[in-house]
Amino acid sequence: MDKSRRNIAKMLSLGAIFPSQMAYSFSSIMESIPTNGMGPVGAAWDQPKKNIEKLYKNAIVNDGLIISRNWNEDSFEALAQSGYTGFNASVDSGNLEKGLRNLNNWQTIIKENPDRLILGTSADDYYRAKEEGKVVVMLGFQNSTMVGRSIKNLDKLYDAGMRWMQLTYNERNYLGDGSTERTNCGLSDFGIEVVNRMNELGIMIDLSHCGEQTTNDGIAFSKAPVSINHSMCEALHKNHPRAKTDEQIKAMADKGGIIGIICLGYMIGPNLGTDTTLETYVDHIDHAVKIGGIDHVGLASDFAIQGLEATGATRENWYVPRLTRFKPSYKVQWPPWIPELDKPDRYLQVAKVLDKRGYSTGDIEKILGQNWLRFYKDTLKP
């Protein structure tokens, strides 16, 4: 028995003991084996498993959060290199007037570039974009300050193109407590009213920066699935206010939601450049899949499409200001990026690691974008 056959025999025996853990590895090996119609062909057992570049090119790739301010031609060039089919654009928030103005600005960019961009309002837009070689932009906010105290403002924002909204940023607002707020009071009565109206309109609820109890309440009170569109696993990065616990990931997944694993390096681990690497990033994917299931994990950057270094982030203009903007619990580091993820082709690099770890073609495609599309179908209204 050659080495590959022995490996499969070993996996079959282990699979009887650990069926769920062995599923990815076994399916990946099996799909890599050429056949002659009757069984595997000799030496071909040791050939590479799959062409990841081709898989990636054919896949629908979606980024759960791109910081979209200062969009310019450099952004378009990076977008062309990324292989993206779409992304959730983080529009600057503020009050209602500013929010509407910034939504309108993005609508203008999309209308002026019909050969490159599509406004995202449904999952179908992503299939059309893939066919036409364009990219979907799904507009939303990382705060709800635009709503103010009037539930009617949600309708105005929806009509202006908003399709996702984070209930809080780090601080408390009218809806609830953020992730670094001193208290942990959860959603207010008004916050629950906003959640209900978002469900009715078909606006995706995001809980990424929400405090612990606000996150729990958002999952519990929403009638629709919710997103944690750019976060990480608390089990792997302990005591970070932005991380989500296993209990929260499971509760989110049980209701049909999705978590996008954030690419921002200092969110992934405490020791960038040493034991926090691209492999550490994929560890978070592995853990989220283990807890929530393969259908509930996606990807998210939380910076510009070009990457932080390419957009001129320096210690002075990026790191130093955040030492006063964020509490020490945020554990901001410099440089803040994982090198392989700070480039437009970041998710191709992730796909390569997923392949090496034994994920099947179908499961890699789910993580790259199909899980986001499933979520969009379940939350957005036609």
Q: What's this model's pTM, rounded to 2 decimal places?
A: 0.87
11-22 per-position pLDDT tens digit: 444 344 334 344
Collapsing DSSP states into helix, strand and coil, what is residue 65? Answer: strand
Amino acid present at 106? W
Tell me the C-alpha distance between 192 and 186, whole Å.
10
- Residues 232, 295: one domain? yes
Q: Is 92 within a domain?
A: yes
- Residues 143, 88: one domain? yes
- Residues 227, 269: one domain? yes
- Residues 83, 147: one domain? yes
285-341 per-position pLDDT tens digit: 999 999 999 999 999 999 999 999 999 999 999 999 999 999 999 999 999 999 999
Q: Is 64 within a domain?
A: yes
- Residues 24, 77: one domain? no
For 234, which DSSP code? Answer: T
Q: Is 101 within a domain?
A: yes
Amino acid present at 367? I
- Residues 128, 17: one domain? no
Domain count, the chain: 2
Q: Is 52 within a domain?
A: no
Give me the CATH number covering residue 279.
3.20.20.140
Q: What one-character-per-residue DSSP string does 255-310 give?
A: TT-EEEEE--HHHH-SSBTTTBSHHHHHHHHHHHHHHH-GGGEEEE--B-TT-TGG
Nearest Cα neighbor of 79 from 93, 92, 91, 62 is 62
- Residues 103, 244: one domain? yes
Tell me the C-alpha distance between 237 and 88, whole Å.
25
Query: Where is pLDDT greater, at 50 or 228?
Result: 228
pLDDT of residue 125: 98
- Residues 8, 73: one domain? no
Q: Is 110 within a domain?
A: yes
Mean pLDDT calculated for residue range 38-45: 35
pLDDT band of 267, cuts 50, 70, 90:
very high
- Residues 198, 112: one domain? yes
Which uninterrupted H or E stretch holds 324? helix 320-325
Q: Is 51 within a domain?
A: no
Which uninterrupted H or E stretch holds 378? helix 371-379
- Residues 208, 164: one domain? yes
Tell me the C-alpha distance between 66 and 87, whole Å.
7
Lookup: tokens for 38? 């009757």
pLDDT band of 177, cuts 50, 70, 90:
very high
Range of the domain at 32: 3-46
- Residues 147, 36: one domain? no
- Residues 28, 64: one domain? no
Q: Is 217 within a domain?
A: yes
Q: Is 337 within a domain?
A: yes
